[in-house]
Amino acid sequence: MKTLKFSERAAIITGAGGGLGREHALLLASRGAQVVVNDLGTGVHGDGTTNNLAQITAEEIRNLGGVAVANTDSVTTVRGGEAIVRTAIESFGRIDIVINNAGILRDKAFHNSTADLDDPVIDTHLNGAFNVSRPAWIKMREQGYGRIVNTSSGSGLFGNFGQANYGAAKMGLVGLTRVMANEGRKYNITANAIAPIAWTRMTEDLMPGMEKKLQPSLVSPLAAFLAHEDVPVTGEIYTVCGGYVARVFIGVTRGIFEGEYLTPEVVSQRFDEIRDELDFYVPANPKDEMDRVFPKL
């Protein structure tokens, strides 16, 4: 079995001061990657700052013989994203990998949600991925190589009570990943997403007693594979927890075709056929769906 190495590859990992990001950084660095450890040092809810979290992880990597620099810029601003990428370029001369992992929680039932709860979550997860990936993307296009791994969530893919802001941001990352995949193909840039379940400071209150089974380190092997030059896919989503990995996808059913005779009553009568999952397909892009539908028109 081939050992996957990252020699001479430069990686940015956001939210790497602890939890999943820290494990991603440790694993990639142990296999030769030069890592920018980014972490603003905020609490779970995005409040306060403890700016030494990034430094602690970077120092841990260096003590283990790896190469890492710390960065404490915020992913929530365009300027912060540019500064994070600039740290990689100035330190390592290139940027090959971006793992967008930074995140916060501000949960509230939808009818009680407010802008001060929603905006910071969207800014950190979704806009944060934009702000870091966009300047990195420019460099990746120039060098003809890049790997993006975005961190989605089952809360976005499947929905979860009290997490409208978080779920919207996480599903938004799926759309971003799909567009990146389609735009990046001719530049040898891949973009994939993971939906991890792990015991971290963000989830410890939700999953008591699962610490040993849901170690963040059991998510990182998938993130590392998707960040490697040998990854054979782009635009895909994978759920991962406790050593379990599976693909999640958005499919389209066979559906029905009634042409000009389609009415609300026909939809009602044939709704079970519309929903039937037999013979579904997974479009690669909107054109793929159009190519399947238009011949029926």
Q: What is the pLDDT of residue 238?
A: 98
The class of domain 10-248 in CATH terms is: alpha beta
Rounded to whole angstroms, how far apart are CA atoms 99 and 204? 22
Q: What is the pLDDT of residue 29?
A: 98
Check 145, 166, 187, 261 and give the catalytic one.
166
Q: What is the pLDDT of residue 118?
A: 86
**Contact at 8 Å (CB) between 152 and 170?**
yes
- Compute mean pLDDT per 10 residues along the chain, 297 residues long, and list them: 95 96 98 97 61 93 98 97 98 98 83 88 96 98 98 91 90 98 98 87 60 84 98 98 95 95 97 97 92 87
Residues spanned by CATH 3.40.50.720 within the chain? 10-248
For residue 238, indicate whether it is catalytic: no
- Side by side, the strands of the sheet bearing 10-14 are 67-71, 34-38, 10-14, 97-100, 146-151, 189-196, 237-241, 244-248
**Contact at 8 Å (CB) between 217 and 183?**
no
Element (H, E) at 11: strand 10-14
